[in-house]
Amino acid sequence: MLTYFADTLLAHLLTRKSPFYDAIMKGPSPEMEFSAFISLYKVSPFYQFAHFTANQAIIEAFKREGSRALHVLDFDVSYGFQWPSLMQSLSENATPTNKISLKITAFGGNVEVIQETESGLVSFAKGFPNLIFEFHGLVRGSKNVKMEKRKDETVAINLVFHLTSLKTLSKISETLSFVYSLKSSIVILVEQEGTSSSNKFLPRFMESLHQFAAIFDSLDDCLPLESDERLSIERNHLGKEIRSAIN
């Protein structure tokens, strides 16, 4: 971990015109980053626990309202890893004659990621004949959001690991104002402990150091230091996250 922080500090001292800056800050390819994130998701409890807790809250709100249709608005779908377990839970409460409808309106970083996410979720949903699944993907920042609540539909807003990615208070305020206007049944907010949004370097550095130390400590119990999988996680995902947090 300290290697990635040291490299990032060095880049912080260099000008962007320096060839060493580009060498240090060069990120992994999308394929490498995706592979590293999958590996981290499988072995680390952080993301899985966050998704499990969020989904449980959605299920409870859905049952409380007694509807048979659930509409989730996901502000940062990533690759949709959160939603297979929700599909499974909903299917367990449905029958062939009393199906449950699940619609996910999801924001993603680009068209390719959204299409890949949709393909994976649609394919997974086919394994649950008691579930009627619909996916509507939008590129993040799109203004073409039409939220018309259907009759007897439970609406859930999913803000898992999203607000701190917005960086500025104005963007956070704009997002929360939009969320408020939707008048949903439940809003799910999950964020990492601590913050890297401070404009002052030292507080931001110390917060990031403590945060990533916890993640690296968790990896010690999951993967050996010499593991190729662990090296990929550190270099292609956590290393990039550290550089982003510090710089």
pLDDT for 141-177, tens place per residue?
Answer: 776 666 667 778 999 999 998 887 787 888 889 889 9
pLDDT for 22-50, tens place per residue?
Answer: 877 888 888 898 899 999 998 888 889 99
Query: How high is the pLDDT of residue 46?
Result: 84
pLDDT beyond 60 at 139: yes
pLDDT class of 16 with cuts at 50, 70, 90? confident
User: Taking the chain, what is the end-to-end CA distance rounded to the nearest angstrom?
Assistant: 16
The runs of H, that is alpha helices, within 92-184 are 111-125, 169-182
The residue extents of the domains of the chain are 2-44+201-246, 65-190
Tokens of 96: 């062939």
pLDDT for 93-103, tens place per residue?
Answer: 899 899 999 99
Q: Where are the beta strands (DSSP E) in 109-214?
A: 131-139, 153-160, 186-190
- Are 182 and 162 in contact, with CB atoms under 8 Å apart? no
Annotation: CATH topology of 65-190: Rossmann fold (3.40.50)
Which DSSP letter does residue 149 get? P
pLDDT class of 191 with cuts at 50, 70, 90? confident
Average pLDDT over residues 203-226: 86
Burial code (b: 16+ CB inside 10 Å, e: under 16) for 63-100 equals: eebebbbbbbbbbbbbbbbbbbbbbebbbeebeeeebb
Query: How high is the pLDDT of residue 230?
Result: 93
Query: How high is the pLDDT of residue 195?
Result: 56
* Cα 189-234-2 angle, rounded to 5 deg: 100
